[in-house]
Amino acid sequence: MNKKIRVRFPPSPTGNLHIGNARTALFNYLFCRHHEGTFVFRIEDTDFARSTEAFMQNEIDAMNWLQIHWDEGIQRGGEYAPYKQSERLPIYRQYIDQLLKEGKAYRCFCSSEQIEQDRNETVEGAMVGKYSGRCRHLSRQETESNLERQVPFVIRYQLPENTQDIVIQDLIRGKMVFTSSNLDDFILVRSDGIPTYNFAVTIDDATMNITHVIRGEDHLFGNTPRQILLYRDLGFEIPAFAHLPMILGSDKTKLSKRHGAFAVTDYKEMGFLPDAIVNYMALLGWSPKSNEEVFSMEEMIERFDLSHVNVSPAVFDFEKLKWFNQQHMKRKSTAYLIELEAPFMKDRANVKKWAEEHQDSIEGVFESLRKHLVTLQDFPEYIEQFHQYEHLGFKEHREEIMDSLPLLEAFLAGLDTVPNWNTEEISHYIQSTGQELQIKGKNLYHPLRIAITNEEQGPDLPVIIVVMGKQAVKNRLHRWCEIIRSTKYPAEGEKDGN
C-alpha cells in the first residue's frame, strides 16, 4: 500500500460506548497502527433528539480508557476539522447543491401517507415496498410552486435509470456484487434540512480522505451500496471496505446485557482492566493464527491483519472475558494494581478504614490474594469478607475441631509474641506452633481455618488473619476453646444438665 492509510471511527452519541461498537474502534485502531496510518475519531450527532453531550463524553472517556488513541478528531482537531457532523452542515449543503444541479438528486414533496400508500401497492401480486419515484418527474413550475407554498420536502437521491452493478471489494469477505435495482431513491436530506447518515458519512469519509472504512456487518447491505453510488456520482475515490462479523450472545441471539455485554465504562466500574477488554474484543472476530490468546495492545498491533478476520459471527462469552481479566491482572505489577484499586476501596467503610490504618500491609496482603482475583473488585470484597468472619457463629463444623483444643490454645497463647502483624510473620508463627505440637499440613491448617473462618477452604490463612486483626482472631479462638472445653469436659453439674 503506497497511500497513507486513514481510518475513522464515527459513533453516534445516542448511548454510552458499547462493547460492540468499541470492537469496531479497536479493529480500526489495530489495522491503522499496524500500517502506521492515521486514526480519525468523528462524532455523528445529527440525530439531535437522541444525541447528548454526556453520551459523547462517555464515548471519549471509553476510548481514552481503552487506550485507543486518535490522531485527529474530536477534542484534538486536525486538518479536516470540524469533526462533529452538526458543525459540518455547510459542507453537506455544498454537495447537495451539486447533486441537485446535476440532476442526481431531487426534492420530494410527497406526504408520508402518500409514500406509505405507494409502498403498499402491489405489482403482480408483490408489494412494491419502496418509494415510487413520484417526484422525480415534477416540472420546474411544480417544484417552484411547492417551494413557494412552503410544502415540506426531503431531498432524494435519484437512482441511475439503468440497473447498475455495485461492486464491493470487501477486505474480509472478498468481492460482493449488489444491484441498484434493489434500492430506491433514498433520502439524502430530511425535511428539517439535516442530512441522513448515508449522505453525511459519505461526504465526511470522502472529504477527510478516508482510505479504509472498517465497520460492522450491519452496514453491508443497507448502507454501503448506497454510499458507493454517492461516491461515484460525486466523483470521489471509493475507499476500501471491510465489514466486521456480528457479535452474538452465547445462545447465538442478538448480543445484549443478558449476555454480559455492557458499555465499556461499565466494565471499568466492574473492575476490569482495559488490557483485558481490548484483548478479548480483538478475538471477537480476529484469529491470530496461533494458539496464543493473551496479548498486549502492542502485540496485537504487530500481528493484526484484516485477512485474518472471520466472516462468521463471533460469540461473546462473559466468563471468557473474566478469564482474560485474570490473565492480565497476573501480568501487571502489584504496585500498579494497588493504584487502580483505590476507587474500589473507597465505597466500603470497613475496607477504607482498614486500608487507611494498614498502609504498610496492603502490598503484602494484595500479593497473597492476587492469584484469587478475577477483577479489581474482588480485592475489597475479600477484605470485607475477612472482616465479617469476626461476626460468624460457632454452630457449624463443631465435630471437626473438637480434637483441636491443644492447637487452638497454643496458637492463642503465643499470638501476642508475633512481633509484626504481617503475612510472613503470621505464617512463621503458624509453623512454629505446629512444630511445637508436632503437627503439620492439613492437621495444622484445617482446624485453624475452620475456627477462624468457618470455611473449609479459601485464600491463605495468614492473609485472612492479618486482615481480620489480632483482637478479632483472638476473640474467635477464645470462644472456640470455651465451647470445646465445655462440650468435651463438661463440669459435673453441666453433665447433669444443671
Ranked by CB distance to ligand GLU, the top (closest) residue is 215
Tell me the closest approach of the beta carbon of residue 316 to ligand GLU, in angstroms.
Answer: 18
The C-alpha atoms of residue 227 and residue 222 are separated, in whole angstroms, by 9
Question: What CA–CA distances, in Å, run from 91 to 201, 204, 227, 331?
Answer: 12, 9, 17, 48
* Known catalytic membership, residue 257: yes
**DSSP readout, 79-98?**
TT---BGGG-HHHHHHHHHH
Q: Kindly tell me which of 200 and 282 has the beta carbon lying closer to ligand GLU.
A: 200
Contacting residue, 56, 168, 200, 201, with ligand GLU by CB under 6 A? 201
Instruction: Phi first, then psi: give them for residue 172, nearest 5 degrees.
Output: -105, -40
Site track for ligand GLU across 20-59, x = CB under 6 A: ------------------------x---------------
The one catalytic residue among 254, 257, 330, 332: 257
Q: Kindly tell me which of 28 and 279 has the beta carbon lying closer to ligand GLU.
A: 28
Quick check: 430 and 461 in contact, CB under 8 A? yes
**Residue 225 contacts ligand GLU per CB under 6 A:** no
Residues touching ligand GLU, count (CB under 6 A): 7
**CB atoms near residue 263 (< 10 Å):** 20
Instruction: State the pairing for strand pair 122-123/126-127.
Output: antiparallel
Question: What CA–CA distances, in Å, run from 173 to 219, 240, 246?
Answer: 13, 12, 13
Q: Kindly tell me which of 224 and 326 has the beta carbon lying closer to ligand GLU.
A: 224
Contacting residue, 18, 88, 215, 328, with ligand GLU by CB under 6 A? 215
Tell me the closest approach of the beta carbon of residue 42 to ligand GLU, in angstroms.
Answer: 9
Those residues with Cβ within 8 angstroms of residue 140's Cβ, 6 or more apart along the chain or in another chain: none
Q: Kindly tell me which of 199 and 316 has the beta carbon lying closer to ligand GLU.
A: 199
Q: Kindly tell me which of 200 and 452 has the beta carbon lying closer to ligand GLU.
A: 200
**Residue 239 contacts ligand GLU per CB under 6 A:** no
Quick check: 450 and 461 in contact, CB under 8 A? no
Span 5-24, contacts to ligand GLU by CB under 6 A: 10-12
Tell me the closest approach of the beta carbon of residue 241 to ligand GLU, in angstroms.
Answer: 10
Which residue is associated with the grid cell 431531487? 106
- Site residues, ligand GLU (CB under 6 A): 10-12, 44, 201, 215, 219
Which residues belong to the active site?
Answer: 257
